[in-house]
Structure 1
């Protein structure tokens, strides 16, 4: 009859094997993703290290060194997967150097000769020293995401614990004790590693889901043709900014840009030519507006730029820069010449009625200025303030000559 330790060891072996099969299937599914490959191959190497520890009793010293070497390689790959999944390309400072030094230590331990304990202990010590992923994560409270971060930290800490347990089992326990409690010592080394692999797999799943949801949200907010924000995203952001004006008095200006004679472009060059002009104008708007501004395609040939914390005078300067860039875009050969646009500008003046009402008034003012630019001959910038009707100043009363006053 199997002892409790033997039964637990058999269960762990079955679980390690099952997880390895799952990871092999994931490797095929994620072979085109750099982050996915790094994560899954790293977890597979950690799983292989656990299986080697479980089945490596009585093996030669050089073979026992493979387990800590695989654990070290797993740490390096998982670290790279965490960095790539988080959208960064900056690994922990000295991660490559630390990994290379630790690997050299593992290989150097293989030259220790006949004694397996010194060689294996040196390998585990090198793997423990290479636990730089935790050092990279701790000062970055947002990495690799709010939901996955606890699991990633737990997986890294458990993997480090597994390496420490391996070092203790190999070096800190006498030969007699190791012989009597071999199964328990193996469980001590394997259980943290297995839980770390499961935590890492769950963390990777959460990170992938978060990345997919973020990508879908970005796509839902962007115009498919131009890559700028779509109308819904512009309206949503404008309502928030208008509400901020109502609360704090922060200024905001709005530019409404309309391509002149766009129907003629479509009729002469076809819709492909029209789409090309739209993309070129969107590129001008994208590279011209400031980092704090929000630009989007508001309609068919109409664009909108929100300029928070910006007065009308600064918005006019931005509009003229955009207009200058648009005038450099060549139209299709069938038409010849260069593109042109009319731009209307307005600054928020009244936040009453909430963000939606204030935004409607602001956009309406900019839209009226745009139509005035069209009326004046197109290809120009008009501000809403220039359209405001000012009451005429009262005329002074005519002076009556002194002689006339004397007559009356």
Structure 2
């Protein structure tokens, strides 16, 4: 048994040393993710504390090699072991904060830090009381079980991260950790005598007893699996964020032109397969250049953001809204003919008219062209360009007819689409030097 125990201790020292080095490197590798930084820092603390706990066990065994009646640990060693166990709890609490951050919950930074410091203090104080070893054991494993259970509950209540690899691995690690903690608590609730010595926590046991080290092995495996799982979750989050950034317009939060083209190709493929109606709305902000020229680009950007929000709140969940470029937007409406799309166009006009412009009680307006995809040949890209061009021609007619309205492409006469461009009339926005900009 002594040989088996020493072997386990050596393995744990190797594993905790390895996870300490790896988690230290991940502090820098995962710095782009707030949750990842917390996970990495928590594993640094937990690995270092676990290494210290194992070192206390190994050092005491070497001093009492072959002695199965070595008696209690020296007072200083007991306090050091309790302090190391407290630091391990601080590491797990930091990891728990990372879990809450990943799932969009409040970190509870101050309460958790205060709770951790209180636990460490109680662990150190308990070393001077009667039955100190059992008190330290019960407090440490009780807190760890509570943290593990809380982490599992948060992960089960959220659907985020279930499709990746990291989430299930982290779940398994916390289940293993919780199982080891429950076993430790139930085992030491009724101490079993062995050669007249009561069973004690893993870092205070006699050298002839190997199986009580199982809770520590569970903690070691939890750190190892958790480190890998959390690293995968943070990596998946960073990749998803980068993909989102490549698809989303930074100013308005709508899809950008590239993402719109990609979505349009998929919708046209569905139209070719199922023949379901597909309509397109092309939307342009009226007199936008004058807003920029008179009040500055910051004011113009604010107007664009408000109009984008109006579009996003007007569309259905199945509709795809994007900023096509400059002050021009586009919405694709699957399962919708052009007559049905006019309901969306009316909603947009009403919402945009409620957006105030800088100046003397002026309000924003948009012009909209509506077109439905009809029978046509060519590649998906050619079909998409044709649909957009048809809606864009209807948009031009809406501007020509006075703006702040929509025009349906199928009702536009060919003569209207061939009319010469008009000079855009100026909108009196007032003197920007005396009118405050309010967006």
> TM-score, normalised on structure 1?
0.74
1:283 alignment partner in structure 2: 309
The answer to whether the aligner puts 1:175 opposite 2:194 as a matched pair is yes
Contact kept? 1:262, 1:301, Cα under 8 Å: yes
2:99 alignment partner in structure 1: 82
Contact kept? 1:65, 1:119, Cα under 8 Å: no
Please state how far the C-alpha of 1:258 moved relative to its aligned partner: 1.6
The answer to whether the aligner puts 1:13 opposite 2:13 as a matched pair is yes
Q: Mind listing any 5+ residue stretches in structure 1 that lack a counterpart? A: 390-408
Matches within 5 A, 1:318-337: 318-333=344-359, 337=362
Contact kept? 1:256, 1:367, Cα under 8 Å: yes
1:247 alignment partner in structure 2: 273
Does the residue aligned with 2:171 lie in a helix, a strand or coil? helix
> Compared with structure 1, are the counterparts of its residues 247 and 33 closer, same or farther at alpha carbon in structure 2 (3 Å cutoff)?
closer
Measured in 1, the distance between the counterparts of 2:361 and 2:249 equals 28
Measured in 2, the distance between the counterparts of 1:345 and 1:231 equals 18
Query: Which has the larger Rg?
Result: 1
Q: Mind listing any 5+ residue stretches in structure 2 that lack a counterpart? A: 61-72, 198-204, 415-439
Matches within 5 A, 1:383-402: 383-387=408-412
Measured in 2, the distance between the counterparts of 1:380 and 1:140 equals 44
1:234-256 deviation per Cα after TM superposition (whole angstroms, max 9, x unaligned) = 11112212222332343332110
**Equivalent residues, number:** 377
Moved more, 269-278 or 56-65: 56-65
1:316-374 deviation per Cα after TM superposition (whole angstroms, max 9, x unaligned) = 122123223333445455x9944432210112333765643443332232122112212
2:423 alignment partner in structure 1: none
Moved more, 224-233 or 271-280: 271-280
Please state how far the C-alpha of 1:233 moved relative to its aligned partner: 0.8
1:126 alignment partner in structure 2: 142
Structure with the bigger RCO (C-alpha within 8 Å, sep 6+) is 2
* 1:347 equivalent among 372, 392, 404: 372
> Compared with structure 1, are the counterparts of its residues 77 and 351 closer, same or farther at alpha carbon in structure 2 (3 Å cutoff)?
farther
1:153 alignment partner in structure 2: 171
> Compared with structure 1, are the counterparts of its residues 341 and 31 closer, same or farther at alpha carbon in structure 2 (3 Å cutoff)?
closer
2:398 alignment partner in structure 1: 373
> Compared with structure 1, are the counterparts of its residues 347 and 74 closer, same or farther at alpha carbon in structure 2 (3 Å cutoff)?
same
1:23-82 deviation per Cα after TM superposition (whole angstroms, max 9, x unaligned) = 567668879965345424543453355245421661557776666666655555434422
Contact kept? 1:327, 1:338, Cα under 8 Å: yes
